[in-house]
Amino acid sequence: MKKKIVAEANVCRIETNLDLSHIRFNGKDYINADLEKSIRVKSRNELIADVLYNYFSEGKAGQLQGVVFCVNTNHAQEMERILNAKGLSAKAYTRKTKNPDEVMQQFREKKIRFLCACEMISEGWDYPELGILVMARPTLSKVLYMQQIGRGLRRTNTKTNVFVIDVVDEYGAMAKPCSMHSIFSNPFYTAFGSILKRDYSLGDMIEVDGLHETVERIVQVDIETFEEKYGDYLNQEQLAREFYLSTGTITSWVTKGKISPDEMITFGSRKIYLFAPEHVKQIREENNIPEHTEETIKTDFFDFVEERDYSLSYKMPFLLSFLKNMNEIGDAKIDNVLTDYIAFYQDRIDKGLPVDRSSCPYNAERLKDRKYIKSNMLTNPFEKFERKRFLYYSKDLNVISMNHALFIKMSKQDFEKVKVQMEEDLEKYYERVK
């Protein structure tokens, strides 16, 4: 930005009195269900619309187009209604939009000034003339925030600046969301001032894209976000994965006083425990927990497989289906894995054999529901392999991948050994089921 490679950002902070300190987060970002319940407040949305109307409805500034980043479809539709009521043409642009291509074409033809977006344009979308970004969806994720503001940073021969509107609500001391001032480590806020400039004086004039604003006050803001303060801490889920233990084990250790978290965040009856990196090392040493690294991953994998921990049959047909569809780089299309996974159980039904133990929900009707079986497969058994970093799932690519560090250590004989064991274990498992 200083080198003028991307557009310079001029920032306005809309401060609300909406208390969002109760919103839960999972250690990485706010829980979307909580945001959906709390953000859809008419007064908050109207405040956003008022700022856009007051500053961007006349002259050159009144020609600028923008994106309002929303929490969900309902929020986007509400913002559409409120902006249109103000005379600011807007359309919701979400996964539920019936004619997204038409809406986007109208936007590109400047028939619409504002897109009220949810999920659709956080990354990979390009519209160089975009002049206004409204950050109406709070996030703790620096990556997500940067993806969103990146949509407006394209610099052109006719565009040198972009306006970023940060909507700042009331949060607890721990879970402060990202903002332009936290991203750029600028503790001094001046309405519509450049995010790069820290030496404004009272009475200075800010003139950008037809907007004229006199500096009447300079406010010091808190720029320390949750990610900056606790970004390298592990929560109980992450600690469990690091130690190859269950989350329940870690929670039990905390409850019994065997280990103590460095921070505890409470949301109703739920608690998030945070552990500092140096404390993680101490816990490992005190409890003789071995390190699991890329060097040990093959041994760890075979140790896991040879445990033969089968409360239900899921792991065996899943792993066989994955290996059958895995390509030369360790990837398998999840739809192909799912097809073979379902086929295994369908074959048992066709032959009049028991599908599994009585607690297994699979039956002829359920197996027709690919969405349900896919969700079940990803929850269990895939999660058991993913938890120990043996496998990964890319939703965008629609593939399940073997950890590259593990894949390059595995020979054809190793894969055959796993396959033979799974087939033998299945035979023994169903002998017990009978």
Domain covering 8-228 assigned CATH 3.40.50.300 in the classification:
yes
User: Over the Cα atoms of the chain, what is R_g?
Assistant: 26
Contact 11, 180 (CB under 8 A): yes
- Distance, in Å, from the CA atom of 254 to the CA atom of 249, rounded to the nearest integer, reads 9
pLDDT digits (tens, 9 = 90+) for 238-294: 899 899 888 889 999 999 999 999 988 765 556 789 999 999 999 999 999 999 999
pLDDT digits (tens, 9 = 90+) for 369-415: 999 999 999 999 999 999 999 999 998 789 999 999 999 999 999 99
pLDDT digits (tens, 9 = 90+) for 344-380: 999 999 999 999 999 999 999 999 999 999 999 999 9
- Distance, in Å, from the CA atom of 120 to the CA atom of 114, rounded to the nearest integer, reads 14
Does the predicted TM-score (pTM) go above 0.85? no
> Residue 146, CB half-sphere, CA atoms under 13 Å: how many?
6
- Distance, in Å, from the CA atom of 433 to the CA atom of 348, rounded to the nearest integer, reads 13
Write the CB contacts of 432 (distance below 8 Å, at least 6 apart in sequence): none
Predicted confidence (pLDDT) at residue 39 exceeds the cutoff of 80: no
- Distance, in Å, from the CA atom of 366 to the CA atom of 375, rounded to the nearest integer, reads 12
Q: Average model confidence (pLDDT) for the chain? A: 90
Indicate the pLDDT class of residue 173, thresholds 50, 70 and 90: low
- What was the pLDDT predicted at 151? 87
- Distance, in Å, from the CA atom of 119 to the CA atom of 34, rounded to the nearest integer, reads 17
Locate 200 and state its tokens.
């404004």
Contact 209, 61 (CB under 8 A): yes
- Distance, in Å, from the CA atom of 161 to the CA atom of 154, rounded to the nearest integer, reads 9
